Amino acid sequence: MVATYYDKDADINILKDKTIAVIGYGSQGHAHALNMKDSGLHVVIGLRSNSKFVTPAKEAGFEVLSPADASKKADLIMVLVPDEFAADVYKNDIEKNLQPGNVLAFAHGFNIHFGFIKPPKDIDVIMVAPKGPGHMVRQLYTEGAGVPDLFAVYQDATGKARDIAMAYAKAIGGTRAGIFETTYKEETETDLFGEQAVLCGGLSALLTAGFETLVEAGYQPTMAYFECVHELKLIVDLIYKHGLAGMRYSISNTAEYGDLTVGPKVIDAGVKTRMKDVLKRIQNGEFAHEFVDECKAGKPNMEKLRANAKAHQVENIGEELRSKIPFLKGGKLL
């Protein structure tokens, strides 16, 4: 098992006399900025003047500058804009404002690993990637806890890059939960694989196929939704806390026997062969370039696929069902 580092292993003092610019104030940006401020660090925010996040950032007590001015002022620049815009923001606002010995940081390795951003040799390049959404990074910090982080060093010009990455992780609350060391390559490739093949892509296709199978066989869509989608939360909670074996301990023997005998028939060797293809396309950069080209074209394919998926019966039934369960009502994602 890879080493786990906690509060005692990291020293925030290495960041105490530095100015930290957080570029972007979205999901991760607001959480990193607020947590670091509460940890006693000097944080400024870089945002375009027309951003809807300028007001909330100012109201939270931050100095808000343009991305270029924030970068110029800072010793450490954390880039927390969406991955598809980061290369442009770097080219237009950050690159010319980098001084030797500065630190460039990311929460995901995409742009550095695939070469969309090529940093100069005389700066540190680090990653601190919380393994959870931004609102959890903030909420858990305010409760005295934290979200675990992955951290990595891509380039160490000062000889202090690793200590700085660990200090950063401590300042956002990561070392309260535990932080784990990785590389840009490993974080980027495993993150993309997990979200494509398992967590987001694989899962939503699995749920949808199960739902369709029951509905096409004449069962009520509501029942199909309960059995193939809604109940997932209960199963995932068990796996999260107790692992697969713990989940199997909790379900009925009937369910467990069906799980063990039928699961591998549905998710068979063919699925794994295709997963290996998915991984290959990630490793050789094909997926990354496809995504960047799609973004440059204004995301036409993504918009179409998103609209089609949203119009699927599984979504209509789900929305109706959630509206009837009182404690889920109004639980819309912001």
Q: Has 191 been labeled as part of a binding site?
A: yes
Catalytic site includes residue 108: yes
Residues from 98 through 157 that contact ligand NAD (CB under 6 A): 106-108, 129-130, 133-134
Q: Is 89 in the site for ligand NAD (CB under 6 A)?
A: yes
Minimal CB distance to Mg ion: which residue? 191
Structure tokens at 85: 């815009």
Size of residue set near ligand NAD by CB under 6 A? 24
Q: Has 51 been labeled as part of a binding site?
A: yes
Q: Cα 146 vs. chain centroid, distance in angstroms?
A: 15
For helices 253-266 and 232-250, the axis angle rounded to 10 degrees is 110
φ, ψ of residue 302 in degrees (nearest 5): -60, -45
φ, ψ of residue 285 in degrees (nearest 5): 85, -5
Q: Is 221 in the site for ligand NAD (CB under 6 A)?
A: no
Angle at 242 between CA 260 and CA 180, to 5 degrees: 115
Smallest distance from the beta carbon of 295 to ligand NAD, in angstroms? 11
8 A C-beta contact, residue 4 and residue 146 = no
Q: Has 195 been labeled as part of a binding site?
A: yes
Angle at 204 between CA 202 and CA 210, to 5 degrees: 100
Residues from 20 through 59 that contact ligand NAD (CB under 6 A): 24-29, 47-48, 51, 53
39's contact among ligand NAD, Mg ion, none, with CB below 5 to 8 A by partner kind, is: none
Strand order, beta sheet including 19-23 = 4-5, 179-181, 149-155, 124-130, 103-106, 76-79, 19-23, 42-46, 63-65
Smallest distance from the beta carbon of 128 to ligand NAD, in angstroms? 9
**Interface with Mg ion by CB under 5 A: which residues?**
191, 195
Choose, from 30, 108, 113, 230, the residue flagged as catalytic: 108
Q: Give the separation between CA 164 and CA 293, rounded to whole angstroms.
A: 34
Positions touching ligand NAD (CB under 6 A) are 24-29, 47-48, 51, 53, 67, 80-83, 85, 89, 106-108, 129-130, 133-134
**Residues carrying an active site annotation:** 108
Binding residues: 25-28, 48, 51, 134, 191, 195, 227, 231, 252
